[in-house]
Structure 1
Amino acid sequence: MTSSDSDLIPGGTPASEMPDWEKRFRAPRVGLPEWAEDAPDRSLFVSNATGTYELYAWDRATGTQRQATDRPNGTTDGTLSPDGEWIWWFSDTDGDEFGTWVRQPFAGGPDEPATPGLEPSYPAGLAIGRDGTAVVGRSTDEDGSTIHVVRPDGSAPAVIYRHRESAGVGDLSRDGTLVAIEHTEHGDAMHSALRVVTLDGTTVAELDDSHGGTEELGLEVLGFAPVAGDTRLLVGHQRRGRWEPMVWDVSTGAQEDLAIDLPGDVSAEWYPDGTALLVVHSFEARDELWRYDLAARDLVRVDTPPGSVSGATARPDGTVEYQWSSAAQPASVRSTAGGVVLDPPGFRAPGSVPVEDVWVEGPGGRIHALAQRPEGHGKGPFPTVFEIHGGPTWHDSDSFAATPAAWLDHGFAVVRVNYRGSTGYGREWTDALKHRVGLIELEDISAVREWAVSSGLADPARMVLSGGSWGGYLTLLGIGMRPDDWAVGLAAVPVADYVTAYHDEMEALKSLDRTLFGGTPEEVPDRFEASSPLTYVDAVKAPVHIAAGVNDPRCPIRQIDNYVDRLAARGAVHEVYRYDAGHGSLVVEERIKQVRMELEFALKHLPQGLPR
């Protein structure tokens, strides 16, 4: 078969010469385009077309596209100014998430500092006004959270907010006079309160459903109304045990309860004329879109296929663009006007296997898991990978993922567990982790493991526990606490030594850990000890592979080295791969390398060798 240029990956290799699992990583893909509020033909999107995820500018009027950023470790954090004249992007060093905002003209040109006068920091939100004023959220270990107003006249940035606890910029009103801030001054980093201030920091309105931290209820900013002079703020709340939207008029204090009668979590954004909301409904690992008319209080379904919507936006003409995928079908950016909005060049990623919904009774209630069976490998039981999601406040869904598909291609079954702590199943399910961090999640994973074995899906002697970030943490904790359950452990960018991780991690995560554990390691040492993989490292029996980014501010390298040193001291079978990036890699070939290492490690160390 002769390959055309569009069938070549960066470097010139024909797509026909690579296995399907590698094609899924290398196939060109694009994210949902963001468009400039006052120049909707100007868009910004993320793509891996060069082999590294970077930002691209797209002029819809002319069809012109150009790569806007080009860095060895990739770039994904960017936005457009309201007039579409400037691309803002966050410049860190090798994935360490610590840096400054820069900008470049939409049509191309040199980058320049976007926030002169501000020292490097971790980002904590950004909002850009129509006059060029920027509201910039920052986080540092020394200052905690600060919010600054940066004027286009070159005057020194002004601090309008400062607090030791985590906070960030939510949104800027359309006329540029009001700033919505999410903050956790009450000490509960899992549940924000809201404050609206003027550009000089004067408080206009407050909303705190946590009641000073005595209740586990949170709020989130969904956006000011897109109408000049309109003081309505769309807010997400948890007053009925799940996320749902309401409209808060910050000038009068009036709160309009929308009471959208849909099960599961509900989020929303404004239609551009401010008369309706685009509602995103997440329920049992799948998503739907709806249009809610604010005047008529009418909810109408926006037609999308069954699966997951990872992003959606309403355009000025009333159409909706959304990014959709399912476990069996790769992602595409679609429009309710019909067809694909943005089609990446080159070959398409092969599909994969649909998911099966599994419900298992657990110690904290029914657990939802997603299972996939390999095609062409008999009826089982199969060697099985439990691929554990990160977060922990996240959830696995019926969406396309290249890593599970790679395991399926090699004859493994894949199980993903939406353990307590996951989103999408109500507030109590998400908030269940406090004070028994890690232990709660492992109870649910163990319950689903028992189902996988008893149902005949999984071979109990060939079970792999795998995950990245929080999933990597649960992997190391699981192979230590339940060493007889798992034949192999694969942990990417994990928490391995929780006490050292706390002291080395970025400040915003320290706040989260204090909330989860009820204090610092010095204040509640027993809780940190009970939840740290290092506590159980000497019980580990399974060969373990660990991948770690040397610049990772979330799961820093020193605490991983402490864990590895303990494995090495007792002669435990392990491999460690350290790479020059942060909390994961945006380079496609690097990601393929890591998955290949995990596959080879598992196949080498599983009892009975290759899948039957």
Structure 2
Amino acid sequence: MLRHLEALSDGDLGALSCDASGQRWVAAFTHDRDPGATYLYDHSTGRSRLLHRPYPDLDPAVLAPMTPVTIPARDGLRLPAYLTLPVGADPVGLPLVLLVHGGPWFRDSWGFNPAVQLLANRGYAVLQVNFRGSTGYGKAFLKAGIGELSGAMHDDLVDAVGWAVAEGYADPNRLGIFGASYGGYAALVGVTFTPDVFAAAIDVCGPSNLVTYLETLPEFARPGLMNNWYLYAGDPSDPQQEADLLARSPISRADQIRTPLMVAQGANDIRVVKAESDRIVEALRGRGVEVEYMVKDNEGHGFVNPDNNIDLFRAADAFLARHLA
């Protein structure tokens, strides 16, 4: 039965249901270009038909395929990643956007991603990397991130764009980095710890100071700190660990920033408070360095209001076009 159901689509089999006889099945699929397409399959006759497509306005033929790739890190660790190339473009020497997931205890997965498709539509190669510390690849891969914020976790991202350049996909002078939450922190680390790698960076609600970030986390987030942030990054109540956290914070190297930077922040964010973005913006403006700063008063940790998301991606689109395209 599984063999017949999987043959309905080249996507990944998702939600399933059947009648009491086990002969008539409804199957939905995860897909990078045709998300949620749902089919009816009758095993007694072998016939099937498309029931519906949740996003009928999306044309799979003009969307970009997301290709799983494996990238070797400098220490030999194999990094699962996804490369999306713009449709119809010669995949050589393209501007590339490294899209970094949040968490960091999360992972990028294969499937439809609106941000990826927007960037690919604009002509960018898009690279998503499950750096060490990402979830879904076993305990050893997860624990390889302990103590490696701004260290090997960031090296993985740099190695990944280096791989894209070495493979010929990306232009080394047109590399961008874009992320939210931990991904925003990674963007800030990119322009402070490795200022010569990226030509543009977009930080959405990323912490600039790991000490103040941990000190201002809301009470509901604190019970888990022992097993995540305190274990992986450090406990600011310990002076030695506090010093290490500060050394790993972008704010401690704000004087290194010379890459064009865009920052977006929700004013009501209680997880990464607005002061985290204010600090990095003020540090740059104090040096006379231009930085784009978008603050939305009716947003928290990450934008959910559709109008605000449109504003964010419209601004990001224009920002990347100025500095990468």
Pair 1:515-2:231 in alignment = yes
1:561-589 per-residue CA deviation (whole Å, 9 max, x = no partner) reads 11211111112221110112112233333
Tell me how far 1:486 sits from its aligned partner: 0.2
Q: Secondary structure at the match of 2:144?
A: helix
Question: Which residue of structure 1 lines up, in the alignment, with residue 29 of structure 2?
Answer: 324
Shift of the 536–595 alpha-carbon distance from structure 1 to 2, 3 Å rule, reads same
Pair 1:428-2:140 in alignment = yes
Q: Secondary structure at the match of 2:301?
A: coil
1:164-563 equivalence runs, <5 A: 303-304=5-6, 305-308=9-12, 312=15, 317=20, 324-332=29-37, 344=54, 347-351=56-60, 352-362=63-73, 363=75, 365-510=77-222, 511=225, 512-523=228-239, 524-563=241-280
Question: Which residue of structure 2 lines up, in the alignment, with residue 604 of structure 1?
Answer: 322
Q: What CA RMSD, in Å, does the superposition of the two structures yield over aligned residues?
A: 2.7
Q: Secondary structure at the match of 1:303?
A: helix
Question: Which residue of structure 2 lines up, in the alignment, with residue 587 of structure 1?
Answer: 305
Aligned AA for 2:29?
A: W
Q: What is the alpha-carbon distance in structure 1 between the residues aligned to residue 243 and residue 76 of structure 2?
A: 23
Aligned AA for 2:122?
A: H
Larger relative CO (CA 8 A, sep 6+): 1 or 2?
A: 2
Tell me how far 1:334 sits from its aligned partner: 5.6
Aligned AA for 1:398?
A: W
TM-score by length of 2: 0.84
Q: What is the alpha-carbon distance in structure 1 between the residues aligned to residue 244 and residue 97 of structure 2?
A: 29
Aligned residues: 307
Q: Secondary structure at the match of 1:541?
A: coil
Tell me how far 1:416 sits from its aligned partner: 0.9
1:354-395 per-residue CA deviation (whole Å, 9 max, x = no partner) reads 123322221251112211221233342001101111121222
Shift of the 378–566 alpha-carbon distance from structure 1 to 2, 3 Å rule, reads same
Q: What is the alpha-carbon distance in structure 1 between the residues aligned to residue 183 and residue 132 of structure 2?
A: 13
Aligned AA for 1:327?
A: D
1:92-114 per-residue CA deviation (whole Å, 9 max, x = no partner) reads xxxxxxxxxxxxxxxxxxxxxxx
Aligned AA for 2:160?
A: V
Q: What is the alpha-carbon distance in structure 2 between the residues aligned to residue 475 and residue 487 of structure 1?
A: 11
Question: Comparing both structures, which one devotes a greater share of its residues to helix?
Answer: 2
Q: What is the alpha-carbon distance in structure 2 between the residues aligned to residue 326 and residue 458 of structure 1?
A: 25
Aligned AA for 1:601?
A: F
1:1-16 equivalence runs, <5 A: none
Aligned AA for 1:593?
A: D
Q: What is the alpha-carbon distance in structure 2 between the residues aligned to residue 513 and residue 395 of structure 1?
A: 17
Aligned AA for 1:569?
A: G
1:248-271 per-residue CA deviation (whole Å, 9 max, x = no partner) reads xxxxxxxxxxxxxxxxxxxxxxxx
Tell me how far 1:525 sits from its aligned partner: 1.2
Aligned AA for 1:378?
A: D
Unaligned residue ranges in structure 1 (runs of 5+): 1-289, 291-299
TM-score by length of 1: 0.47
- Confirm or deny: 8 A CA contact 2:133 2:142 kept in the other structure: yes
Tell me how far 1:419 sits from its aligned partner: 0.7
Pair 1:578-2:283 in alignment = no
Q: What is the alpha-carbon distance in structure 2 between the residues aligned to residue 577 and residue 342 of structure 1?
A: 38
Q: What is the alpha-carbon distance in structure 2 between the residues aligned to residue 335 and residue 480 of structure 1?
A: 53
Q: Secondary structure at the match of 2:258?
A: coil
- Confirm or deny: 8 A CA contact 1:307 1:398 kept in the other structure: no
Question: Comparing both structures, which one devotes a greater share of its residues to strand?
Answer: 1
Shift of the 302–421 alpha-carbon distance from structure 1 to 2, 3 Å rule, reads farther
- Confirm or deny: 8 A CA contact 2:66 2:111 kept in the other structure: no
Unaligned residue ranges in structure 2 (runs of 5+): 43-47
Shift of the 583–302 alpha-carbon distance from structure 1 to 2, 3 Å rule, reads farther
Question: Which residue of structure 1 lines up, in the alignment, with residue 45 of structure 2?
Answer: none
Question: Which residue of structure 2 lines up, in the alignment, with residue 37 of structure 1?
Answer: none
Higher Cα radius of gyration: 1
Tell me how far 1:529 sits from its aligned partner: 1.5
